[in-house]
Amino acid sequence: MSNTFGNIFKITTFGESHGTLLGVTIDGLWGGIKISQKNISDALDERKPSGVGSTERREKDEFEIVSGLFEGKTTGAPLTIIIKNTDARPQDYESLKNTFRDGHGDKSWLDRYGYRDYRGGGRLSGRETVSRVVAGAIAMQILNTLGISIKTEIVSIHGDYENFDNIIKKAMEMHDSVGGRIKCTISGVEAGIGEPVFDKLDAVLSHAIMSIGAVKGIEFGSGFHSEFLYGSENDKIENAGGILGGISNGQDIIFNVAVKPTPTINSGKRHDTCIVLRIGAVIKAMAAITILDYYLIKYSSNNLKRYFKKEV
Amino acid sequence: MSNTFGNIFKITTFGESHGTLLGVTIDGLWGGIKISQKNISDALDERKPSGVGSTERREKDEFEIVSGLFEGKTTGAPLTIIIKNTDARPQDYESLKNTFRDGHGDKSWLDRYGYRDYRGGGRLSGRETVSRVVAGAIAMQILNTLGISIKTEIVSIHGDYENFDNIIKKAMEMHDSVGGRIKCTISGVEAGIGEPVFDKLDAVLSHAIMSIGAVKGIEFGSGFHSEFLYGSENDKIENAGGILGGISNGQDIIFNVAVKPTPTINSGKRHDTCIVLRIGAVIKAMAAITILDYYLIKYSSNNLKRYFKKEV
Amino acid sequence: MSNTFGNIFKITTFGESHGTLLGVTIDGLWGGIKISQKNISDALDERKPSGVGSTERREKDEFEIVSGLFEGKTTGAPLTIIIKNTDARPQDYESLKNTFRDGHGDKSWLDRYGYRDYRGGGRLSGRETVSRVVAGAIAMQILNTLGISIKTEIVSIHGDYENFDNIIKKAMEMHDSVGGRIKCTISGVEAGIGEPVFDKLDAVLSHAIMSIGAVKGIEFGSGFHSEFLYGSENDKIENAGGILGGISNGQDIIFNVAVKPTPTINSGKRHDTCIVLRIGAVIKAMAAITILDYYLIKYSSNNLKRYFKKEV
Amino acid sequence: MSNTFGNIFKITTFGESHGTLLGVTIDGLWGGIKISQKNISDALDERKPSGVGSTERREKDEFEIVSGLFEGKTTGAPLTIIIKNTDARPQDYESLKNTFRDGHGDKSWLDRYGYRDYRGGGRLSGRETVSRVVAGAIAMQILNTLGISIKTEIVSIHGDYENFDNIIKKAMEMHDSVGGRIKCTISGVEAGIGEPVFDKLDAVLSHAIMSIGAVKGIEFGSGFHSEFLYGSENDKIENAGGILGGISNGQDIIFNVAVKPTPTINSGKRHDTCIVLRIGAVIKAMAAITILDYYLIKYSSNNLKRYFKKEV
């Protein structure tokens, strides 16, 4: 129920933080797409720990496409990609066997399923997002050919708009962690993407982005600031965030994401002081997966028209 | 694709602002539930225009349960409820035939579907939410018996935390509109509701709430404020908003919602100066629908266990 | 869970045999389709009781499109059509309050939902199919413009290939009922419709057709007879029934349907001696709904290609 | 769209006949289930080629559970199981690069997706069913604890009810192939499983079984024979096949399956003369997956009731 996302471009992910491997199965692609392995590596690299305060866990993130590809091209069969864990240390988590960490979902999982894998959060670990990034890279490759690009930028860390490194260093010295805010811009989406009522484009993007571990909030266009504007001011197109009535209007789609500080880093396990540095790759992936899916939904019905022998 | 919401408690809505009627079909209920018509009326009343600056359109919102009920109780058959439009004025919108209003989804709809009902936004109108409120009242009746309650409160209007009436009056005099912020609190949800990874409880609640017309942002617990806290501070249970790892932790579930000012009220049609006054009823409805659905999902698998003749 | 069918062209039905009305909501259509009311009436007429041994219940089957249409054309909003019951006689069924009829689902429903509407089978009645026929007529209108047609013919009644009327008359005199076999031919479906593995075109057509009340079996092409052929004989294209590997091959799609005799007609209620005479309209409807849905699925992904600015 | 099956107990399969591996991801299980590896091996053994006329391809069918298990028990995370191909011979199929085999889906796939893996049918190969058998074994383990068992028996091969070996030997000598009929009996299913209207238990079982490669027909209870009975005769409970109104009635569920002769065995590749000998394991798997899913659907809503603090 919970490990599949999407309607037509549909991904199913699996694997745990300290298990053998992680993976993703992508369904819904047509045949003949030459999958760029470089795109996938690049996206994985962007997600990798780097810079100040990053986790000491060093995963190579080498991936293998184990099904769905024939002579480098998709066949229409489901595409499965696996990424082996090479730096897992399940033994580090023995101490968590009978305890729960604050701010983590350890106990929630137990309440939900009645049994748990206590090694590093199991499936609730941020490591799970490696599967999303792989799928997102493939979605992105297709969107690129439609002239669509997605970028993220760090707006602020711990309330500061400039001195990110210093802020993080200070948190490290305090053996503490910090969060921040990310802005995501999706350019080139044509007008008319999104489904009115329940699957408004901003609603499904919110679903996608809020499903990323550390995310605590999302706002589109003028968002939480819109209440400070009168309607006559807010009606300006730049405040819509590229979506009106839940459907793209041809402008850039813009949203902000609230990222909380990494929880319980004082538990002594390997962690990032500030996940904001890495989460952009995951946000881009989820945005790409969602946008492609809603392109496919739109074109499922709209395009049948051209095959009609006479007018409906 | 867009008019159905939910997995097990599944609603399908239909109808337009200036058409004959609106309605909802609810699937997924078991037999023998005595549906309270009063609960539905009360919820509809809460959504009705009232107070300063409210729209002049006066709908009675009388509903009729046309299927699924036998001698006052559900049978397991789909429950369809219709609400006739009695104060529709399609003729008022003739002037919009060849034009698009700023801040509305009028043009987006045309870009999506290639044809549109220009009368008052058609299906994009806020009137569509009447179907959600009916379904929400039924979900709420069931949740109540589990000891769950949902309330919303207005935090601020146009940035002001106190003088709501004055703020709205002033906007009216300016022939303008204002937005605000709502806080929603869901009490009594047991620990263990929500699906990890893609259907985290906060992700699906975001989907549900962001699908309401004027909503531009959502945040859970410390939300956008969390970046001002260090991890050691943010880990405190009151900052989680009742959800950890995407699963309820037994605390109150708390989220804030950004509501934009009503768009283009200067177009002369009937409108609310401040939709914040009425949107609480819709937020509660969508929250109730979502929480009930994820209770059903949890109990689908967890409870089969008790029927086992021997241990699995 | 059970009252919605389809993926992109998605129908949700509601209403009971002896309730106020029956209806269907169709989601997934694009805007601008001029809906032919005549097609719908004609399809309903084809389903109406007529000829020897038909039920005495005479429903006008007048329908009303209550949402989704603007100036005669679809808008992309969900299309809801209702059909009021005018000849319901719930009082006739008082005697069934505390009893269950052989061969009917009366008791099964109670076992499933714990409560039931005993009036004429409630939602399990054949009257439910009126909603399917309406939706099917709309799907058929679209398929026609693609050059697709669907026809059904009665192969046999009670094992007889010719003297249908006499067979039925005899059964009537015996106060008994008879079943038969129907052949359905779908012409004009292009090669490449259907999804390999779980949603093979024959699998989803079987799902659709077997969901009709009195149907007890289905076979494609040489079907149950194929075991009497050697592989070298069976490989001939006319034995495939138009589907290979679960995907249409451009030939006519041909399947046979087993229809059981109407159950417990000796219970004194109004019934058809031989439902085979009327079920063809329902089979065509379900076939049309399924074929259109899988066209839309195919074109969702295949057609995005033509919008690419460069090669993927 | 096509590689996922089920609603709550949901499986996603991947892999090709002559690729690296095949696999399945199972979602929807709760935590704490001790997965029996022996059950899986036994089910795979039952599907293995053995006896007269069986294919010369010899796969070990060793499986590995790569996610979702912790200390031998499910955690609620998705369970992924892979089976490596060890006796694939893609080179054998070079000759098919520019040709299509009669009776196979080779060309259909190309028509659907525009590109294909010509090596032994790729994903349309019978080898794909290994994933189904693994998932089925896990479903079966759970059903067993509810007192449910499923068995299949060969009714006839090439029209003969007794001398299976001779019939197959003769076909081998002729370099030809034969089909047959299988009877499946599901015992111990409680009354009240299945969803009325579109997801009747016989409809979803038909979907599941007809999605298996060589299957050309299915019938429940008296099936195609029912037309030879009068209603008064057919109403007897043994003719229902355990399902009335689409819902189980507590009797054995019984259906027959038509299996066509293996196509184009004269193409010189490795094949079974008579797939009927092995297909029983796949039929049982798909039946188990379906029955478990509809148990979970039933108990999702029915069981929430027991948690109510007061009556709804």
Question: D248: which 2 tokens?
Answer: 């189980």
What CATH number labels C4-305?
3.60.150.10
Average pLDDT rounded to a whole number, residues C122-132? 94
* pLDDT at B309 (0 to 100): 65
d(C-alpha C161, C-alpha C159), whole Å: 7
* pLDDT at C267 (0 to 100): 73
* pLDDT at D50 (0 to 100): 84
Exposure of D157 by Cβ count < 10 A (0-12 exposed, 13-18 middle, 19+ buried)?
A: buried
Average pLDDT rounded to a whole number, residues D79-92? 91
* pLDDT at D119 (0 to 100): 81
Confidence band, pLDDT 50/70/90 cuts, at residue B192:
very high
* Cβ neighbours of A28 in C, within 8 Å: 301
d(C-alpha A138, C-alpha A11), whole Å: 11
| Contact (CB<8Å) D302/C114 | yes
Q: What superfamily in CATH does domain A4-307 come from?
A: Chorismate synthase AroC (3.60.150.10)
Strand segments, DSSP code E, in chain A are 4-5, 10-15, 21-27, 31-34, 63-67, 69-70, 73-75, 79-84, 149-157, 180-187, 215-220, 243-244, 247-248, 253-259
pLDDT tens-place string over residues C213-265: 999 999 999 999 999 999 999 999 899 999 999 999 999 999 999 999 999 77
Question: D210: which 2 tokens?
Answer: 């007809």
Going by DSSP bridges, is the β-strand pair B243-244/C31-34 parallel, antiparallel, or unpaired?
A: unpaired
Residue A305 has pLDDT above 70, yes or no: no
Q: Does C70 touch chain B (CB under 8 A)?
A: yes
* pLDDT at A92 (0 to 100): 83
Phi, psi for residue B86 in degrees, rounded to 5: -120, -15
Residue C232's region, left for phi above 0, alpha for psi from -120 to 50, else beta, is: alpha
* pLDDT at B94 (0 to 100): 82
Going by DSSP bridges, is the β-strand pair B10-15/B63-67 parallel, antiparallel, or unpaired?
A: unpaired
**What single letter denotes the amino acid at residue A167?**
I
Comparing A62-66, A131-135, C298-302, which segment has the lowest mean pLDDT?
Answer: C298-302
pLDDT tens-place string over residues A3-39: 999 999 999 999 999 999 999 999 999 999 999 999 9
Tell me if C242 sits within 8 A of C251, measured CB to CB: yes
Phi, psi for residue D108 in degrees, rounded to 5: -55, -45
* Cβ neighbours of A177 in B, within 8 Å: 230-232
DSSP state of B163: -
* pLDDT at A118 (0 to 100): 86
Question: C266: which 2 tokens?
Answer: 């000796």
| Chains contacting C (3 or more CB pairs within 8 Å) | A, B, D
d(C-alpha D100, C-alpha D110), whole Å: 10
Confidence band, pLDDT 50/70/90 cuts, at residue A304:
low
* pLDDT at C185 (0 to 100): 98
* pLDDT at D141 (0 to 100): 96
First-to-last C-alpha distance (Å) of chain D: 38
Q: Using CA atoms of C27, C32, C37, C38 in order, give the dihedral in degrees to the nearest 10.
A: -120
Dihedral over Cα of C89, C95, C101, C106: its sign: positive
Average pLDDT rounded to a whole number, residues C100-105? 86
Greatest CA separation found in chain C?
72
pLDDT tens-place string over residues B143-184: 999 999 999 999 999 999 999 999 999 999 999 999 999 999
Q: b or e along C188-223 (b: 16 or more beta carbons within 10 Å of the residue's beta carbon)?
A: bbebbbbbbbbbbbbbbbbbbbbbbbbbbbbbbbbb
Q: Tell me the CB-side half-sphere exposure of residue B212, using CA atoms within 13 A.
A: 31
* pLDDT at A120 (0 to 100): 73
Closest CA to A131 of A16, A247, A251: A16
Comparing A85-99, B31-45, C191-205, D36-50, which segment has the lowest mean pLDDT?
Answer: A85-99
For residue D220, the surrounding DSSP H or E stretch is: strand D215-220
Q: Does A84 touch chain D (CB under 8 A)?
A: no
First-to-last C-alpha distance (Å) of chain A: 38
Q: Does D19 touch chain A (CB under 8 A)?
A: yes
Exposure of B230 by Cβ count < 10 A (0-12 exposed, 13-18 middle, 19+ buried)?
A: middle
| Contact (CB<8Å) B15/C66 | yes
Exposure of D41 by Cβ count < 10 A (0-12 exposed, 13-18 middle, 19+ buried)?
A: middle
d(C-alpha A13, C-alpha B197), whole Å: 9
* Cβ neighbours of A26 in C, within 8 Å: none
Average pLDDT rounded to a whole number, residues A46-67? 92
Average pLDDT value for chain B: 93
> Between residues B264 and B126, which one has the greater pLDDT?
B126
For residue D202, the surrounding DSSP H or E stretch is: helix D201-210
Tell me if D43 sits within 8 A of D133, measured CB to CB: yes
DSSP-assigned states of every residue in C24-67: EEEE---EEEE--HHHHHHHHHHHS--STT--S------EEEEE
Confidence band, pLDDT 50/70/90 cuts, at residue B103:
confident
Q: What residues contact A174, with CB distance under 8 A and at least 6 apart? A: B230
CA-nearest residue to D294 within chain B is B300
Average pLDDT value for chain D: 93
d(C-alpha B134, C-alpha B142), whole Å: 13
- Taking one residue from A and the other from B, the number of pairs with CB-CB distance under 8 angstroms is 328
Closest CA to A194 of A256, A133, A136, A242: A242
**What single letter denotes the amino acid at residue C42?**
D
pLDDT tens-place string over residues D196-212: 999 999 999 999 999 99
Share of chain D above pLDDT 70, in %: 95
Strand segments, DSSP code E, in chain B are 4-5, 10-15, 21-27, 31-34, 63-67, 69-70, 73-75, 79-84, 149-157, 180-187, 215-220, 243-244, 247-248, 253-259
d(C-alpha C305, C-alpha D13), whole Å: 26
| Contact (CB<8Å) D297/B300 | yes
Phi, psi for residue B195 in degrees, rounded to 5: -115, 120
- Cα distances (Å, whole numbers) of residue D305 to B141, B296, C191, D126, D294: 13, 10, 49, 43, 18
Comparing A141-145, A217-221, C268-272, which segment has the lowest mean pLDDT?
Answer: C268-272
Confidence band, pLDDT 50/70/90 cuts, at residue A312:
low
d(C-alpha D8, C-alpha D292), whole Å: 9
| Contact (CB<8Å) A301/C302 | no
Average pLDDT rounded to a whole number, residues D266-275? 83
The SS3 call for residue B274 is coil
Residue B115 has pLDDT above 80, yes or no: yes
* pLDDT at C8 (0 to 100): 93
CA–chain centroid gap for D121, Å, is 18
* pLDDT at A259 (0 to 100): 98
DSSP state of B250: S
pLDDT tens-place string over residues B20-65: 999 999 999 999 999 999 999 999 999 999 888 889 889 999 999 9
Q: Does B4 touch chain C (CB under 8 A)?
A: yes
| Contact (CB<8Å) A112/D76 | yes
d(C-alpha A284, C-alpha A267), whole Å: 30
Residue D89 has pLDDT above 90, yes or no: no
Average pLDDT rounded to a whole number, residues C196-210? 97
First-to-last C-alpha distance (Å) of chain C: 38
Residue A101 has pLDDT above 90, yes or no: no
Tell me if B265 sits within 8 A of B195, measured CB to CB: no
* pLDDT at A242 (0 to 100): 97
CA-nearest residue to B210 within chain A is A203
Residue C198 has pLDDT above 80, yes or no: yes
Residue C1 has pLDDT above 70, yes or no: no
> Between residues A40 and B263, which one has the greater pLDDT?
A40
| Contact (CB<8Å) D244/C105 | yes
d(C-alpha D62, C-alpha D84), whole Å: 7
- What is the three-state SS of B196-210? CHHHCHHHHHHHHHH
Provide the residue ranges of all domains of chain D, joining segments of one domain with +. 4-307
CA–chain centroid gap for D1, Å, is 18
Q: Does C84 touch chain D (CB under 8 A)?
A: no
Average pLDDT rounded to a whole number, residues B65-77? 95
**What single letter denotes the amino acid at residue A56?**
E
Confidence band, pLDDT 50/70/90 cuts, at residue C311:
low
* pLDDT at D303 (0 to 100): 60
* pLDDT at A295 (0 to 100): 94
Confidence band, pLDDT 50/70/90 cuts, at residue D195:
very high
DSSP state of A262: P
| Contact (CB<8Å) D30/B309 | no
| Identity of the residue in D1, D73, D114 whose CB atom sits nearest the CB atom of A28 | D1
pLDDT tens-place string over residues D167-184: 999 999 999 999 999 999
Question: B283: which 2 tokens?
Answer: 């937020």
Residue C120 has pLDDT above 80, yes or no: no
Q: What residues contact A219, with CB distance under 8 A and at least 6 apart? A: A225, A255, A256, B216, B217, B218, B219, B224, B258
Q: What residues contact D225, with CB distance under 8 A and at least 6 apart? A: D219
Residue D309 has pLDDT above 70, yes or no: no
Residue B1 has pLDDT above 70, yes or no: no
Place of tokens 């008082």: C94
Average pLDDT rounded to a whole number, residues B284-309? 84
Confidence band, pLDDT 50/70/90 cuts, at residue C268:
low
* Cβ neighbours of C277 in D, within 8 Å: none
Q: Does C49 touch chain B (CB under 8 A)?
A: no
Q: Does B154 touch chain A (CB under 8 A)?
A: no
d(C-alpha B189, C-alpha B288), whole Å: 11
**What single letter denotes the amino acid at residue A273?**
T
DSSP state of B262: P
Average pLDDT rounded to a whole number, residues C94-123? 86
d(C-alpha A201, C-alpha A220), whole Å: 11
